[in-house]
Chain A
């Protein structure tokens, strides 16, 4: 396993070239995981991306770096402490670096990065292409997949750009192989690994939503949720989706509610700040029993917080947001595969229970790239279930003017008609209403209507996936996590067990209605519980106490805006 980190100023293309490099590595037969670390600014500021490459499946990033591509002088002092003994630092020959300060066990590679970019390519901008080609040469990895990516990525810019980038990478690659390859201990042997895809949580969710029949998305850009809106917009015309960037988040969710009421699968995408503005419309969806999906990719708060950083600080907020009480479903996918599945499953749940579904993602899941197989996405499981939506024939059979949109039913779910049919005319109210939908403040009706709505949660609870257990059944330590911490936790568990400490993890993915019985069962078997969360207070641990009475006293919490790493978890034990 090798971690290659590219670090430099914003605007140097660290993000896109790392993604390209990772894809090339994936095509070379390796598993990859890409962690992005960037500032909320377009130019300036120190950005880096770490591409982890392995012959074993990867679930998270990890802290040690084997090869650092220092694209500016600042990169070395910033990342030096994370470079492992025997690691290498590739930097430009003209940068002011005293190799002795790097420590004796780190290989200094002063490379003609800028020179090759300028002289061979004609543009300094190609420095990152040069640097990654040098890294490949150093590890003696094949260059062809990198060349393939260059051809794909630069095709739009014309054949001249493609050709110069290819030339540059070839020269850089050969330079590194001739001069340094023998001096680095990390070499990976690829295995054939066909049919893999590289995607992040945002893309996986968007893909799942599209295939799951999402027809309408409205949003207002906010990192890290907006790439979902962008992805849908890019595919909208070809796949029959209306994707709208609208005036604000208030409009966005109200529009989604309107579209869902009118009969299409509708969603909005945002982050915590935007969700704050949506809170009133969330209640509207609850009161009117309108199925909508809200994709909330968390970033640190409060307020504008840290735009390009990660946190799991909105759990209790989304659970309680909006006045009054109404059913909602909250899902927190932890992996790319789960993000994809949530994409379509959220709509099924929303329509089956006629209520808002909130998908709680975060910057870490949303932006980190990982390789997955198409099989692992589970396309064959994908189904579209519209719940109690009246068909044309059922509508035809309704009596004249007697359709009860909010009919009291045993399971709390009333058959839903899409407006447009002569027998299915009704009014929807944000006020309390009777079975027909008309305003009423009658106390008996209110009680029955509240019970009808809340009854749905009981049924929905049956569909909530119980927490998963990973690791040996019997363990000294049981970690409890949720959402995107799945990967780092899983890796920490593996490493602890490999080192002789028996550990396992309980991971919660379906958050609300809370699968209390299942959580209770699984946690009461544990010897030592440690909650692991990407927030200050341990919100899930508090929720578990509220719902099960089980108190998890030990907590490993990270709230510096950066994701939990396996190393951080292990250190906290």
Chain B
């Protein structure tokens, strides 16, 4: 077991007091420590948004990229060095608006990335507009009469795209989220963790008091089988007085993308020799043109 303090940097987050991102941040550091991972073995990739600032506050290899492009950036990192534990942390705007297509492709590829989505169901950094997961009727600055769009159900989308690990947690239960992150890191292939994250500034209606009485854990239901895809599809549609959290679906049967890429059979790309080809190899290439 490692030490959470390994990941400490002397920078104070700019998050609002009480923001759900603190819980996600703590859970991530605890999960890394529990798995005895060291900062240099981990790459945390994010986009743009309140939650996306997380790599700046954490001592790891961090890359804060572009809004919505977190997964492609992380995919490049993973392909170059698949020995790194690659974790994405980004908001629901980042992940499910501009990034929704990328998520489906990451799931389809089953690339070994842990995708933690800080789902506060609102745009935080740009000050409160409705987000792809906002419920219908949400009144915001860009939806003054209430949003008329149906919200995205990220779990259903991920399942439909072929994700091999689909989970949900909430940032009020740091232990649960910590456990989920450790499971996701151990998973081979793409792992989505949608985290219900209170935004105490722009989405007070769905803050701690909203989630605490509603969430319940799938693990505590002895009849729930997370290897059953049909069941997962059913469960993912449950959203009312009771909101399930935990692992909705998990299969280890499908190899990860990086395991199937022929060039990676010789180890991580970054450790392979660069441009050192034998004279024979070079002449073979040239011969194609003669």
Contacts and interface: CB of A to CB of B under 8 A. Distances in A.
Contacts of B286: 197, 374
Given A263-B81, A421-B40, A427-B56, A257 B64 contact: no
Interface stretch (B140-148, B178-186, B208-216, B266-274): B266-274
B76 A218 contact: yes
Contacts of A213: 274-275
A429 to B, nearest CB: 5
Nearest to B68: A250
A512 B285 CA distance: 31
B262 A237 contact: yes
A252 B66 CA distance: 13
A196 B62 CA distance: 49
Contacts of B75: 246, 251, 255, 258
A72 interface: no
A210 interface: yes
Interface of B: 11, 38-41, 43, 45, 48, 53, 55-56, 59-66, 69, 71-81, 83-84, 101-102, 105, 261-264, 266, 269-270, 272, 274-275, 277, 281-282, 285-286, 289-290
A233 to B, nearest CB: 10
Contacts of A236: 262-263
A425 B274 contact: no
Contact of B45 (A199, A248, A258, A420): A258
A248, A384, A401, A425 — most chain B CB neighbours (10 Å): A425
A198 interface: yes
A126 B71 CA distance: 49
A240 B275 CA distance: 10
A212 B72 contact: no
29 contacts: A195-B290, A198-B289, A199-B289, A207-B285, A215-B272, A237-B262, A239-B263, A244-B79, A246-B105, A248-B101, A251-B72, A262-B80, A262-B81, A262-B270, A264-B80, A264-B269, A266-B76, A284-B65, A384-B274, A419-B40, A420-B40, A420-B41, A420-B270, A425-B59, A425-B60, A429-B56, A429-B64, A439-B53, A439-B64
6 nearest A-B residue pairs (beta carbon): A258-B76, A213-B275, A262-B80, A427-B62, A197-B289, A419-B61
Given A203-B289, A216-B79, A263-B80, A247 B62 contact: no
Contacts of B105: 246-247, 251
Contacts of A256: 76
A426 interface: yes
B40 A425 contact: yes
A203 B73 CA distance: 27
Contact of B80 (A203, A266, A281, A344): A266
Given A235-B285, A384-B275, A425-B40, 19 more contacts: A215-B269, A236-B263, A246-B75, A247-B105, A254-B72, A254-B73, A258-B75, A258-B78, A259-B77, A261-B80, A384-B274, A419-B43, A420-B41, A420-B84, A420-B270, A422-B40, A428-B62, A438-B56, A439-B64
A216 B258 CA distance: 13
B48 A430 contact: yes
Contacts of A401: 59
Contact of B76 (A216, A384, A438): A216
A67 interface: no
Interface of B is mostly: helix
Contact of A262 (B43, B266, B285): B43
A242 B263 contact: yes
B76 A260 contact: yes
B269 A240 contact: yes
A215 B66 contact: no
B81, B261, B264 — most chain A CB neighbours (10 Å): B81
A418 B101 CA distance: 29
Contact of B282 (A211, A237, A424, A425): A211
Contacts of B275: 211-213, 344, 384
Nearest to A210: B285
Given A242-B79, A419-B81, A261 B63 contact: yes
B83 to A, nearest CB: 7
B65 A254 contact: yes
Interface residues of A, number: 67
B231 to A, nearest CB: 29
A240, A256, A259, A284 — most chain B CB neighbours (10 Å): A240
Contacts of B55: 427
A241 interface: yes
Nearest to B262: A237
A255 B61 contact: no
A280 to B, nearest CB: 6
Contacts of A218: 76
A203 B15 CA distance: 51
Nearest to A253: B72
A418 B264 CA distance: 18
A431 interface: yes
A422 B53 CA distance: 22
A257 B61 contact: no
A415 to B, nearest CB: 16
Given A213-B274, A255-B73, A247 B101 contact: yes
Given A197-B290, A239-B281, A240-B269, A428 B11 contact: no
Contact of B56 (A237, A262, A439): A439
A306 B54 CA distance: 45
A211 B275 CA distance: 5
A247 B102 contact: yes
B59, B261, B270 — most chain A CB neighbours (10 Å): B270
B290 A427 contact: no
Contact of A424 (B40, B76, B261): B40
B81 A281 contact: no
B63 A258 contact: yes
Interface in A400-443: 401, 418-422, 424-431, 437-439
A284 B269 contact: no
Contact of B69 (A242, A281, A418): A281
B59 A258 contact: no
A354 B66 CA distance: 19
B66 A430 contact: yes
Contacts of A384: 274-275
